[in-house]
Amino acid sequence: MDLQHLNEQQREAALHTEGPLLILAGAGSGKTQTMTHRIAYLIEQGVSPYEILAVTFTNKAAGEMRQRVEKLVGRCPGMWILTFHSMSLRILRENYEAAGYAKNFVVYDTVDQKALIKNILKEQNIDQKLYPIPYLLSIISKEKEADRGPEEYIELEGGLQGANIKSRTVYQVYREYQKQLKNNNAMDFDDLLRNAYHVLRDHDEILAAYQNRFAYIMVDEYQDTNHIQYQIISLLARARQNLCVVGDDDQCIYEWRGADIRNILDFEKDFPQAKVIKLEQNYRSTGNILAAAHSVIRNNRGRKQKKLWTEQEEGHKLVYARLENDKEEAAYVVRQIRLLEGAHRDYDDFAILYRTNAQSRLFEDALRRAGIPYQILSGFSFYERKETKDMISYMRLVVNPQDEMAFMRVINEPKRGIGEKTVDKLRALAHVRGQSLLALLGDEEVLAGLPAKAREPVREMVQAIELCASEAANLTIADIYDTLLARTGYMKALEDQHTTEADARVENLLDFRSFIYDFESEKKAAGEEATLAEFLEKVATDADADKYESESGKVTLMTLHSAKGLEFPVVFMPGMEDGLFPGHRSLDSEDRMEEERRLCYVGMTRAKERLFLTSAEYRVLYGQGNFTRESAFMRELDKSLLDANGDTVYTPKRRAAGSLGVDTGSMDGFARPAYKPYDPLRYAKQAVREKAAAGAAGDDGLEAGDSVQHSKFGRGLVLETDEKTVTVIFDSVGRKKLARGIAQLKKI
């Protein structure tokens, strides 16, 4: 194994394969790189990839790590490189019975969770104003992170008798919430971790099997593990002690979500045999950037003292600009991108990292107007779109007809004339009969009881879902998606509105479609079969940073939180203002202030060559305009590292761009033709319409002897046909009987 391009400490870490190991090091010192080489080294020493478990923080980081390992040692099927959530999901899929669930359990995200709580509040006559949904969900989440169920919760609050009314109400909601999740064969995100932990803790034979399998366990970004994640890892590693954790106490940014920095600081206590290796050379950033980051983070108490050094040159100084208002700030950033891009940089060299999602819109507007391609990687914006959620619900019903939340979400989407009262009645009936809502509405008698105008649309919807479910094995995911889009009437309802908003939604739906295509073609390229269940899992577990693709030539916008572990040549950190960054709630708490400071450190150390900090004198946030004060972090930062022209209010009229320390060599950046995105919209719409037409016509004109092309199975020959089915013999998979009415066969 060629460990030549590791430095001495890194090499030592890669070679230390037996026994516990803590790599504690600052940003950009090659922690992730070392971990990757360590895995490759193990495999080269004859360890089976099957015996390796590597846990990272985002699916994106996991994918990258796998790629790097496979580049070094070739393909490694069976190796688990994944996030805590997807690892838990896998363990639960493999042991759903031990967890007390049925096979195709689903994962609820925030939107589902909210809907479920809302229902419960309604059923139990609890006032939402007194008990806001986000408040309840955050308590429930905190309790689960601390591994406390409803009973443990109320116990701690003084028992059912002793607790105050508020705690009793929370208890009541929490208990019902868990009950209904279970009834729906569903888990929320926190349940994934908690249930996986319980399965391992309570089932010796299951735990032993995993302990036996995973001879080598590694965890990246260990500083951000929470209590349960820690428990899972220590159970798995207990038997063999071959655990390597990698982290930086200065980058712990998830305390608010239960991350426990003590996990890293106490590692030596928990594993007394542990070897500790520190990495101190930074390979990512120039000297000035590194010094600036250090000048901020050194204000935190309670950190392990360490200072990074670099062999790199000092590089450009940092640029700080204070603009008149937030719009000017966005315009300024876009201007700098233009200038630097003119000086031979690619768009994907740039990242704009902000504190809150609410800041993204102005940058989006400014970039769009300038014709600069960009991508947003945080805030679940994509998945939280209503239309995406609706279609995901339809797909979930195909996989799991019992999914009541999904059903209630879409029964009247598009409008089918089913009111809330009807839904309540149907639900009650379904519960009495012990049927799923979908099965219930498959019953003609029940259908007949619906308002007349609702009958036909509901029948079509139920049929579309059932058709997709029964034919799932013969369809690509994209086929299923298109069929649902067309045959539930969803897309048509939007198109018929003829409003810009509805058009935008249609666009989003088709955007989602290309996302599905990407997923399937990736799987296909890897020689794997892509199933709908798997796709839905991906959708449910995708962390925000996952949509990031570096080859796409786009400016990246994301929150500071999701930028963890990534690096970019040029980084912008806008909104350096008290109340925004650090946030309001942090200003009066030293602990929170320290967490924000670590976040600032994370942001600054993402930059390789250039770092721009900006603030606005006047900012509108959530509809409120305010004059601002510069961030405390700007006051802490070593001013000698700033470009001499920084620190003043900049307006295009008053100052020349060149005075800000920007390469002005090639001003022709301004003259570039506007970026015109390729627009495949029209074709996609057409394809979906064809699916609808096939369903309506019911007859595809196929006869025995026809040669056909199938979206999943490729070329084939029609053997026989009848009213409902077409039998085809395919070159690839042999004989198949396919349902008619879904346009997956084309005559050739």
Find, among 367, 394, 363, the residue nearest to 379 by Cα.
363
The site partner of 5 among ligand ATP, Mg ion, none (C-beta below 5 to 8 Å per kind) is ligand ATP
Identified catalytic residue from 345, 355, 487, 606: 606
Residues 6+ apart with CB under 8 A from 477: 516, 519, 520, 530, 531, 532, 535
Q: Which is nearer to ligand ATP, 248 or 520 (CB)?
A: 248
Using an 8 Å Cβ cutoff, are 383 and 112 in contact? Answer: no
**By CB under 5 A, residue 169 contacts Mg ion:** no
Using an 8 Å Cβ cutoff, are 54 and 80 in contact? Answer: yes
Rg of the chain in Å (alpha carbons): 28
The rounded distance, in Å, linking the Cα atoms of 701 and 708 is 12
DSSP 79: -
**By CB under 5 A, residue 58 contacts Mg ion:** no
Identified catalytic residue from 112, 143, 190, 220: 220
Q: How many CB atoms lie within 10 A of CB 226?
A: 20
**By CB under 5 A, residue 393 contacts Mg ion:** no
Active site residue 220: yes
Identified catalytic residue from 9, 10, 31, 608: 31
The site partner of 654 among ligand ATP, Mg ion, none (C-beta below 5 to 8 Å per kind) is none
**By CB under 6 A, residue 7 contacts ligand ATP:** yes
Which of 565, 603, 661, 716 is the binder for Mg ion (CB under 5 A)?
A: 565
The strand pairing partners of 734, in sequence order, are 730
CB of 520 to ligand ATP, least distance (A): 30
**By CB under 5 A, residue 603 contacts Mg ion:** no
The site partner of 263 among Mg ion, ligand ATP, none (C-beta below 5 to 8 Å per kind) is none
Q: Which is nearer to ligand ATP, 252 or 662 (CB)?
A: 252
**By CB under 5 A, residue 32 contacts Mg ion:** yes
Q: Which is nearer to ligand ATP, 57 or 383 (CB)?
A: 57
Quote the tokens at residue 94. 């493999």
CA 339 to chain centre: 32
The site partner of 7 among ligand ATP, Mg ion, none (C-beta below 5 to 8 Å per kind) is ligand ATP
Active site residue 32: yes
**By CB under 6 A, residue 28 contacts ligand ATP:** yes
The site partner of 248 among ligand ATP, Mg ion, none (C-beta below 5 to 8 Å per kind) is ligand ATP
**By CB under 6 A, residue 29 contacts ligand ATP:** yes
Q: Which of these segments, 29-37, 102-110, 130-138, 458-466, binds Mg ion (CB under 5 A)?
A: 29-37
The site partner of 53 among Mg ion, ligand ATP, none (C-beta below 5 to 8 Å per kind) is none
Active site residue 723: no
Which of 9, 33, 229, 744 is the binder for ligand ATP (CB under 6 A)?
A: 33
Q: Total residues contacting ligand ATP (rule CB under 6 A)? A: 18
Q: Which is nearer to ligand ATP, 13 or 641 (CB)?
A: 13
**By CB under 6 A, residue 562 contacts ligand ATP:** no
Q: Which is nearer to Mg ion, 96 or 283 (CB)?
A: 283
- In DSSP notation, 488-555 reads TSHHHHHHHH--HHHHHHHHHHHHHHHHHHHHHHHHHHTT----HHHHHHHHHH--GGGG--GGG--E
Q: Which is nearer to ligand ATP, 29 or 645 (CB)?
A: 29
The site partner of 283 among Mg ion, ligand ATP, none (C-beta below 5 to 8 Å per kind) is ligand ATP
Which of 20, 30, 49, 603 is the binder for ligand ATP (CB under 6 A)?
A: 30
CB of 464 to ligand ATP, least distance (A): 46
Find, among 662, 606, 643, the residue nearest to 290 by Cα.
606
Quote the tokens at residue 486. 């067309």
Tell me the C-alpha to C-alpha distance, in Å, between residue 693 and each of 54, 236, 457. 48, 53, 16
AA letter at 534:
E
Strands 714-721 and 707-710: antiparallel
CB of 61 to ligand ATP, least distance (A): 9
Identified catalytic residue from 58, 169, 251, 556: 251
Classified as helix, coil or strand, 314 is: coil
Q: Which of these segments, 26-34, 97-105, 332-340, 438-446, binds ligand ATP (CB under 6 A)?
A: 26-34
Q: How many CB atoms lie within 10 A of CB 59?
A: 20
Helix 500-525 with 477-487: angle, nearest 10 deg:
160
Residues 6+ apart with CB under 8 A from 447: 441, 455, 458, 459
Find, among 35, 8, 7, 37, the residue nearest to 22 by Cα.
35
Residues 6+ apart with CB under 8 A from 159: none
**By CB under 5 A, residue 10 contacts Mg ion:** no
Which of 9, 13, 20, 32 is the binder for ligand ATP (CB under 6 A)?
A: 32
Residues 6+ apart with CB under 8 A from 248: 24, 25, 26, 27, 31, 223
**By CB under 6 A, residue 60 contacts ligand ATP:** no
CB of 519 to ligand ATP, least distance (A): 26
| Residue recorded with tokens 């001003």 | 667
Identified catalytic residue from 109, 143, 221, 706: 221
Q: Which of these segments, 24-32, 263-271, 438-446, 700-708, binds ligand ATP (CB under 6 A)?
A: 24-32
Q: Which is nearer to ligand ATP, 32 or 628 (CB)?
A: 32
Strands 555-559 and 350-354: parallel
Active site residue 251: yes
Using an 8 Å Cβ cutoff, are 687 and 360 in contact? Answer: no
CB of 4 to ligand ATP, least distance (A): 9
Q: Which of these segments, 31-39, 149-157, 659-667, 740-748, binds ligand ATP (CB under 6 A)?
A: 31-39
**By CB under 6 A, residue 10 contacts ligand ATP:** yes
Give the dihedral of Cα atoms 472, 473, 479, 485; nearest 10 deg.
0
CB of 273 to ligand ATP, least distance (A): 24
Which of 258, 315, 457, 565 is the binder for ligand ATP (CB under 6 A)?
A: 565
Identified catalytic residue from 9, 10, 32, 83: 32
**By CB under 6 A, residue 27 contacts ligand ATP:** yes
Classified as helix, coil or strand, 376 is: strand
Q: Which of these segments, 30-38, 260-268, 365-373, 462-470, binds ligand ATP (CB under 6 A)?
A: 30-38
- In DSSP notation, 116-169 reads HHHHHHHHTT--TTTS-HHHHHHHHHHHHHTT--HHHHHHHTTHHHHS-HHHHH
The rounded distance, in Å, linking the Cα atoms of 125 and 228 is 33
Which of 51, 109, 188, 248 is the binder for ligand ATP (CB under 6 A)?
A: 248
Per CB under 6 A, contacts with ligand ATP among 276-295 are: 283-284
Of how many residues is the chain composed? 748
The rounded distance, in Å, linking the Cα atoms of 229 and 145 is 9
Residues 6+ apart with CB under 8 A from 642: 317, 318, 319, 320
CB of 409 to ligand ATP, least distance (A): 38
The rounded distance, in Å, linking the Cα atoms of 333 and 335 is 5
Per CB under 6 A, contacts with ligand ATP among 568-587 are: none
> Taking CB positions, which residue lies at the least distance from ligand ATP?
30
AA letter at 412:
N
- In DSSP notation, 522-533 reads HHHHTT----HH
Active site positions, annotated: 31-32, 220-221, 251, 606
Q: Which stretches of the chain bind ligand ATP, using CB under 6 A?
A: 5-7, 10, 25, 27-33, 248, 251, 283-284, 565, 567
Q: Which stretches of the chain bind Mg ion, using CB under 5 A?
A: 31-32, 565
